[in-house]
Structure 1
C-alpha cells in the first residue's frame, strides 16, 4: 500500500479523554464487517461499478486519440462541469500543475465549474481559441449550469473551427442514453464518450470524467487505477476489520459521533499538490452522508497555511471535530533555509542546516501531536510519495470509507434528494423572469 493509516490518536486507549472507547470502536467495526459484505455482493453483481472501474483499461485505450490530439494541438483546455464532474479531474490535475502553470509540458487545464459571467470574460481574454480545446462533462446531460456554459461558448468555437473541424476541439462526456447534451453532440458531429449511469458524479473520479483531463495533462491513468485497485483488493481480502483502513475510518467517524457528539471532520493535507483533494472530499462526504438529520460537516484545511488561520479554533474552540492529516516525509527535500541566516541570531538557530521539507514535515507532526495533547481526535495518512498510484489509492480509500459510513448511519450515499429541491425552484424562477 502506498500509504499508512494511523488512527491511534482517535482512540481513548491512546488519546485519553476525547477519544473513542474500545467497546464502541469494536461495535462499530462489527457493523463495518456487515457493510463490507454487502458492498462485496453489490460489486460482484455489477451494482457498484465504481469498485470495478480500477481494473478496466479498454476505455483508456479508446480515448487515446482524443488525448493525443489535445496534447499536440492545444495550449489550453477548458473543462466544463460542476460538482463531481469537475472536482475529480481538478483534484487529479493537482499532480500535473502548480500556481505557476503546468509542470510537465501539457496544456493548461481550466476547470470552470461556476457560471459567473466575469470568470468567462476573463478566461476568454487569456486563451487563444485557435489553440484551445473544450471538454463538456454532465452525467445526466441536462445539468443547467454545464449546458448553459457549453451553449455560451459553442458559438465562439463554431466561429473559430467551422462545422468540419469542431469535433477536433470539442469532446462531450455523458451517459449513453438519450439526453439533451448527447443529442446536441450528435447533431454537431462531436466525439461523445460514455459515462456509466451507475456511477454518480462524486464517485466518478477514476472514470473518464476524471481521467480524460488527467491524461491530457500527462498523468498515468493506469497508475491511478492501480493504486485504487490495491485498496479495493485489501478491503475485500477477508482481513480483520482493524487491518482495513477504510473500515477503521468509518468506525471511528461514526463512533466519535455516537460517543463524543463529533459533528465536524477536518481534512488537512500538507502538500500544495493535494490542496484540491479537500474540495473533492467535501462533496463526497457532505452529499453522501448529509441526509435525514445525519452526517458530519466536512471542513477543508491546508497545512501549513491554516495553522495560522484555523488552528486556534481547533485547539481552543468547541471540542466537536475529528482531524485527518495527510502528508509525506519530506525531510531533507527542497531548498536549504539557513544560507543567509544572520550570525549570532539565536532565535532562528533551529533553522540552521534545515530544508523547506524539514519544516513542512515537522510542522505536520507537531500539529498532530498538539491536537492530541489537547484531547482532539486526530489521525494521519503518511504517504510513501505523492504520485498517481498514491492519489488513486487515497481517492478509493475515502470513497470506501464514505459508503461504509453511510451504511452504518443507515443512509443512501448515492443520491442527493434535497439538492433537487433547489434545482426545481431555479427552473421555475427562470421561467418567470
Structure 2
C-alpha cells in the first residue's frame, strides 16, 4: 500500500481506519529484508487462526454488542451515579482501570457533568490529596475487580469508606458505592452486599486486560457523557472486517509482521506513538495488554510508549540512532487546518516564515510525516494507522483491533494470551509480608 498523500488523508474516512507502511508496499519491504517466505508462512498461520476465531463467533471480549443485554444495567447504574454526585472515584488497577482511562480521555474537556478520578496506583500521597479535594457527600465510589480479591483495590475501598463515613454522607452509606466483580463468593461482592450497594457482574469469560468494552470500561464511559453504543459499534465494524477479510485486517497483518521481525530481525520492542494527546492513556492500556499477554516462557516483545510530537524531543534520538530493535506504530488523525492559526505577520517578524498562516494541526501533520520518513530512511519498520477522527467509534475499533492483534500474535508465538502466572508469585509474597508486619 502506498503512503497516503495529504489530499487522500483529507478525504479518508470510509473504513474508519486504515494503515500504511510507507512509499513501498509492505510486500516490497518484506522482500527487501529477505523475509518473504517467513512472513508468508506467519501470515498464513495468522489468517488460519483468525478464521478459526471467526468460526467460533470470535472471542468474548469482541462480542460486546452495541445492543447487548448489559446496556440497560450500565445505563441504570450511570443514571444513579450521575444523579447523586459531582465526583466519581474509580477504584481498580491494571485492566480494571487502564481501559476506562483510555476511553474517557476523549471526554477530557468536560463532556459529562461528573468529574472522574482514577487513582489506579496505590499511592498514599495521591489518596490523601484526593480526599482533601473532594466533598464526601457528593462523591461516589466505583470499585472494580474481576476476582474480587485485588489487594490494591480492596485497600483503597476500605480507605474510601472510612473517609466518607468521617464526613457528610447520604443516610444510606451504600448509596455512595457501586461494584463490578464476578458472581460467586468473593470479598468484594460480599462487601457490596453488606453495604446494600448495586453490584454489576463482571463477565466471567473476559479477562481484566481485555475488558475495556465490557461494563468495566463502559460504565465510566457512560458517566463521562460519551456513547457506549458508539464505542461498541466501532468495535463491531472492525470485527466484521476481521471476519470478512482476515488476510488484510490490521490485526492479522500486524501480528504476522511482528512475529516475523521478532524471529528473524532481532525486533524485541513494539512502539506505539499516537499524535494526539487524548490517546496518551491508550498507550498505557496497550502496554499492559501486550506485556502481560505475551511476556511468557522467555518470549515476548517489550511495549514502548510515546506521544507525538512531544516525544520527538525526548525519545526519538534513541528510536533513530539507537539499536534497530523496534517495530514502530504511529496513530495519526488528519489535522490539516485544525487548531489555532498562526498570525502571518507575527511569524515573519521573528523569522518564522515557514509557520506563517499555518495552523497547529498543519505543524503536527508535517511533524508526524517527517518523523516516519526519517525512521524509514534509517531502515526502521514503521506502520501508520490513520483514524478519521477522535471519536468513540474509532477508539472502540482501535481497542478491539489491538486486542485481536495481541491474541493472534500469541498464537503465532505458541503461548496462552490470557494467563499471567508470573504475576501471581508477587501477589502471594505481598500478602505474606503484610501478615508479618507489626502494627
Using structure 2 for the length normalisation, give the TM-score: 0.92
Decide which of 21, 31, 39 is 2:53's aligned counterpart: 39
Q: Are 1:196 and 2:207 matched, yes or no?
A: no
CA drift of 1:114 comes to 1.6
Corresponding position: 1:427 with 2:421: no
Deviation, 1:173, is: 0.4
**Deviation digits for residues 178-221 of structure 1, max 9, x if unmatched?**
10110111111011001011100110000010000010000000
Q: Which runs of 5+ in 2 are unaligned?
A: 1-14
Give the Å deviation of 1:159: 4.4
Aligned to 1:79: 90
1:268 equivalent in alignment to 2:273: yes
Q: Deviations over 1:340-359 (max 9, x none)?
A: 5254544x111011000101
Counterpart-to-counterpart distance in 1, 2:242 and 2:30: 26
Following superposition, the deviation at residue 401 of structure 1 comes to: 0.3
Between 416-425 and 167-176, report the one with greater CA deviation: 167-176
2:381 matches 1:377 = yes
Deviation string, structure 1 residues 361-398 (Cα, Å, up to 9, x no partner) = 11111111111111000000111111000000000000
1:6 equivalent in alignment to 2:20: yes
Shift of 1:240: 5.3
Residue of structure 1 equivalent to 2:287: 282
Distance (Å, rounded) in 1 between the aligned partners of 2:174 and 2:349:
66
The CA RMSD measured in Å over matched residues stands at 1.8
2:81 maps to 70
Post-superposition offset of 1:429: 1.1
* Structure 1, unpaired ranges of 5+: none
In the alignment of these two chains, the number of paired residues is: 422
SS in 1 for 2:99: helix
Correspondence for 1:89: 100
Pairs within 5 Å for 1:49-128: 49-97=60-108, 102-128=109-135
Provide the C-alpha distance between the structure 2 equivalents of 1:36 and 1:15, rounded to a whole number of angstroms.
22
Partner of 2:12: none
Shift of 1:56: 4.4
Q: Is the 8 A contact 1:12 1:20 kept in 2?
A: no
Alignment-derived partner of residue 168 in structure 1 = 175
1:259-279 superposed Cα distances (whole Å, 9 cap, x missing partner):
211000110001011110000
Task: Give the CA deviation at 1:16.
Answer: 7.6
Rounded Cα–Cα distance in structure 1 between residues aligned with 2:198 and 2:387: 38
1:66 Cα deviation after fit: 2.1
The answer on 1:26 being equivalent to 2:30 is no
CA distance in 1, matches of 2:395, 2:414: 29
Question: 1:168 Cα deviation (Å)?
Answer: 2.6
Q: 1:376 to 1:337 in 2, by over 3 A?
A: same
Partner of 2:185: 178
Q: Shift of the alpha carbon at 1:12? A: 6.7
Per-residue Cα deviation, 1:60-119 (whole angstroms, up to 9, x for no partner): 22232221232233221100000000001000010001xxxx422421111011221111
Q: Measured at CA, do residues 343 and 228 of structure 1 come closer, stay the same or move farther in structure 2, by a change above 3 Å?
A: closer
Deviation at 1:132, TM superposition (A): 1.1
Secondary structure class of the residue paired with 1:299: strand
Between the aligned partners of 1:141 and 1:172, the Cα distance in structure 2 is 10
What secondary structure is seen at the aligned counterpart in 2 of 1:43?
Answer: coil
| CA gap 1:33/1:170 in 2 versus in 1, 3 angstroms | same
User: Are 2:245 and 1:231 aligned?
Assistant: no
Distance 1:15 1:42, change over 3 A: closer
On the 8 A contact 1:57/1:222 being kept in 2, the answer is no
How many Å apart are 1:128 and its aligned residue?
1.1
Does 2:367 align with 1:363?
yes
Question: Against the structure 1 CA distance between its residues 161 and 186, is the aligned structure 2 distance closer, same or farther, given a 3 Å change threshold?
Answer: farther
Work out the CA distance in 2 between the residues paired with 1:343 and 1:63.
54
> Which segment is superposed worse, 155-164 or 383-392?
155-164
Aligned to 1:408: 412
Quick one: distance in 2 between partners of 1:170 and 1:380?
Answer: 42
The 1-side partners of 2:166 and 2:74 are apart by 26
Give the whole-Å Cα distance in 1 for the aligned partners of 2:350 and 2:127.
50
1:208 match: 215
1:235 offset after TM fit, Å? 1.0
CA apart distance, 1:244 = 1.3
